[in-house]
A and B are shown apart, each in its own frame.
Chain A
Amino acid sequence: MASVNRRVLPGFSLTLGYTTFYLSVLVLLPITACFIKAGSLSFNEFWSAVWTERARAAYLLTFGAAFVAALVNLVLGLLLAWVLVRYRFPGKKVVDSLVDLPLALPTAVGGLVYASLYVQKGWLGRYLVPLGIHGAYTRCGIVLVLIFVGLPFVVRTVQPILEDLDPESEEAAASLGGTRWQTFQHVILPTLYPALITGFALAFARGVGEYGSVVFISGNMPYKTEIAPILIVARLEEFAYGEATAIAVVLLIISFAMLLLINRLERWSMRHEH
């Protein structure tokens, strides 16, 4: 009896083996190489490369901007997904496809276009700059492009869940005297939590790693608008591979820790739901 295979479909060991191989070659190997390269530094060298005041300002900006952008995407992405699932309107297919466009566009192009729109002479900048809103070469600009590159993630994770949502539970809530807001808050939202958190995590991770668009809109001023990946490029420019990978390792560790945390949160919200 003990040897009975409880799985319906065969191929567990094959697929697991493939997954392990795939992850190793694509993810673990490069990351290990990164750690080994950074390991060529002594502790003092490592520390003085990654923990300067300037580097700390850059980490804070990188993670801070990615976090804010992911939060905005959380709200706007939910709204977009809601509109796309719940309503019918002309051009819906087009809007639906537009959502994925930021993934296809080379991000450097996105950054350049955003910057040229928001500079003083740009289409939007000429009206916004006199009002004191500087979209280009500020932290605000960085958040703006990160919202752009992270847009698809929340929409695409929430959309299928919304589509599968059972209208009966909403009707039940309404017939039990719940207001619309109560229905949304207590019936719809809880089922969406896991998808929202996943979307948030993806958008956040994307924002942390983003380089191409940010360098064109940030202005790269040390202590103010300089993101951590710029420090890596600066170090590579000096052919200081060890120091460059050291900064990358710090980014990796912080990102990994935050993603683990978000994962936990997602698990917790799923258990909480049932």
Chain B
Amino acid sequence: MNKKILIVLGLILSFSIQSLAQATAVTLLNVSYDPTREVWRDINSNFIPRYEKEKGVKLTINQSHGGSSTQARAVIDGLEADVVTLASYLDTDAISKKGLIKEGWVDRLPDRSLPYFSTIVFVVRKGNPKGIKDWPDLVNKPGVAIVTANPKTSGNGYLSFFSAWGSVTVRGGSRQDAIHYVTKLYQRVPVLDSGARGATTTFVQKGIGDVHLAWENEAHLEVAEAKGELELVYPSISIRAEPHVAVVDANVDRAKGHREAAEAYLKYTYTDEAQEIFAKHFYRPNNKAILKKYDATFPDIKLFPITDIAKDWPDARKQYIGDGGVFDSIYKPKGK
């Protein structure tokens, strides 16, 4: 055979191998909320080689982070997320309502599509000078100032509100008791920051307030960074915060290989390996054995589900936070 022909054949072969390799490269976009940047980076770096070994597909996983509902709006408006891993059911549900995620998405992955969960805890100043141990202390101890984000503009904000409300009603208090309690509580909130990050700055940098109502994972980081100036306090009861994960159907079906990779990616989050990563970043893993292994990090407090205080998440927001809801009535000037 002629040498030239061999070279040409070789070139053709190498080009076709190259294009074959290109065909099996997939880029996924994971649209998530603010504090999850590090945990997803760890999960991605473990999942990518594993998927390449199993399927021969070279993955690139891009991450996008921001306020959870801002992220949801970006996806609704056309950000091509393959998976969404947002802070709240409400945000994922909003995307689903626009037809981008098929109905019944909650039940497509194990345990209602919740590879991890979290809650709201207290961060107090060194030595806990105001003696804050549980929810009633927030309104009963003299001179306590509370830092929490605006429930109307922040996920952290409404989770704190729901926690406060449930701390009364789940333990047998009446609706009237709860209204009385949250009214007193929010009268002790000097600043309503628009987002979780702003509230953290107000509490940590500006030194305002005696207690900060924060996501459990952020509270751990906040205390670690403060080098002994802050302490964590676990109330006896708090809300079970549910950051669901979901495949965005409308986007993964646009290109080949996306759905398969996206589904494998989210399934991977339930493996022991991924569950350990969540735990190390202070998110409560769904796997009970692994949660137990980290019980020093995650004290076993009562976490009540949203269904204890409302029909579901949308109903809770409507009743308590929405226009004309309980939260609005707290601030209504007297006599009107």
Task: Given A116-B205, A237-B153, A238-B322, verify A219-B192 contact (CB < 8 Å).
Answer: yes
Closest to A214 in B: B194
Q: Bound state CA distance, A119 and B204, in angstroms? A: 13
B73 interfacial contact with A, CB 8 Å: yes
CB pair A220–B150 under 8 Å, yes or no, is: yes
B336 interfacial contact with A, CB 8 Å: yes
B127 interfacial contact with A, CB 8 Å: no
A142 interfacial contact with B, CB 8 Å: no
Task: Given A119-B208, A221-B192, A236-B69, verify A54-B198 contact (CB < 8 Å).
Answer: no
CB pair B206–A230 under 8 Å, yes or no, is: no
Per-residue CB proximity of A229-259 to B under 8 Å, as 1/0? 0100110111100010000000000000000
Closest to B330 in A: A222
Q: Which of B69, B73, B206, B331 contacts A119 (CB 8 A)?
A: B206
CB pair B193–A115 under 8 Å, yes or no, is: no
Closest to B95 in A: A239
B94 interfacial contact with A, CB 8 Å: yes
Q: Which of A137, A220, A243 contacts B194 (CB 8 A)?
A: A220
CB pair B150–A112 under 8 Å, yes or no, is: no
Closest to B318 in A: A238
Closest to A49 in B: B323
Interface residues in B148-195 by Cβ distance below 8 A to A read: 150, 152-154, 190-194
Q: How far is the CB of B69 from chain A (nearest CB, A)?
A: 5
Interface residues in B86-140 by Cβ distance below 8 A to A read: 94, 97
CB pair A233–B194 under 8 Å, yes or no, is: yes
CB pair A237–B206 under 8 Å, yes or no, is: no
List A contacts of B72 (CB < 8 A): 239
Closest to A239 in B: B94
Q: Which of B150, B198, B208 contacts A234 (CB 8 A)?
A: B150
Q: Which of B73, B154, B193, B332 contacts A236 (CB 8 A)?
A: B73
Task: Given A116-B206, A233-B194, A239-B69, verify A53-B152 contact (CB < 8 Å).
Answer: no
Q: Bound state CA distance, A115 and B191, in angstroms? A: 11
CB pair A234–B207 under 8 Å, yes or no, is: no
List A contacts of B152 (CB < 8 A): 234, 237
Q: How far is the CB of B175 from chain A (nearest CB, A)?
A: 22
B284 interfacial contact with A, CB 8 Å: no
CB pair B331–A137 under 8 Å, yes or no, is: no
List A contacts of B191 (CB < 8 A): 137, 219-221
Q: Which of A115, A136, A237 contacts B69 (CB 8 A)?
A: A237
Closest to B93 in A: A239
Which one of B69, B191, B201, B331 has the highest number of Cβ atoms from chain A below 10 Å of its Cβ?
B191
Q: Interface size (A, Cβ < 8 Å)?
A: 28
Which one of A119, A137, A236, A239 has the highest number of Cβ atoms from chain B below 10 Å of its Cβ?
A239
Q: Interface size (B, Cβ < 8 Å)?
A: 29
Q: How far is the CB of B35 from chain A (nearest CB, A)?
A: 18
List A contacts of B153 (CB < 8 A): 220, 230, 233-234, 237
Q: Bound state CA distance, A236 and B68, in angstroms? A: 12
List B contacts of A52 (CB < 8 A): 323
B308 interfacial contact with A, CB 8 Å: no
B244 interfacial contact with A, CB 8 Å: no
List B contacts of A186 (CB < 8 A): none
Interface residues in B207-244 by Cβ distance below 8 A to A read: 207-208
Q: Bound state CA distance, A237 and B73, in angstroms? A: 9
A120 interfacial contact with B, CB 8 Å: yes
A223 interfacial contact with B, CB 8 Å: yes
List B contacts of A238 (CB < 8 A): 317, 322-323
Closest to A243 in B: B323
CB pair B193–A220 under 8 Å, yes or no, is: yes
Interface residues in A174-233 by Cβ distance below 8 A to B read: 215-216, 219-223, 230, 233
CB pair A222–B194 under 8 Å, yes or no, is: no
Q: Bound state CA distance, A171 and B193, in angstroms? A: 56
A39 interfacial contact with B, CB 8 Å: no
CB pair A239–B73 under 8 Å, yes or no, is: yes
CB pair B331–A121 under 8 Å, yes or no, is: no
Task: Given A115-B206, A121-B207, A236-B69, verify A230-B201 contact (CB < 8 Å).
Answer: no
Per-residue CB proximity of B299-336 to A under 8 Å, as 1/0? 00000000000000000010000110000100111001
Which one of B190, B208, B323, B331 has the highest number of Cβ atoms from chain A below 10 Å of its Cβ?
B323
Q: How far is the CB of B157 from chain A (nearest CB, A)?
A: 9
List B contacts of A233 (CB < 8 A): 153, 194
**Pairs A-B, 10 closest by C-beta atoms:** A222-B331, A234-B152, A219-B191, A220-B192, A239-B94, A119-B206, A121-B207, A215-B194, A237-B69, A233-B153
A sample of 18 more A-B contacts (CB under 8 A), given A116-B205, A222-B192, is A53-B332, A54-B328, A116-B206, A137-B191, A215-B193, A219-B190, A220-B193, A221-B191, A222-B328, A223-B331, A233-B194, A234-B152, A236-B69, A237-B69, A237-B152, A237-B154, A238-B323, A239-B94
Chain A residues in contact with chain B, CB under 8 A? 49, 52-54, 112, 115-116, 119-122, 136-137, 215-216, 219-223, 230, 233-234, 236-239, 243
User: Can you list 12 A-B contacts (CB < 8 A)?
Assistant: A53-B333, A54-B328, A112-B201, A137-B190, A216-B193, A220-B150, A220-B153, A220-B194, A237-B69, A237-B153, A239-B72, A239-B76
Chain B residues in contact with chain A, CB under 8 A? 69, 72-73, 76, 94, 97, 150, 152-154, 190-194, 198, 201, 205-208, 317, 322-323, 328, 331-333, 336
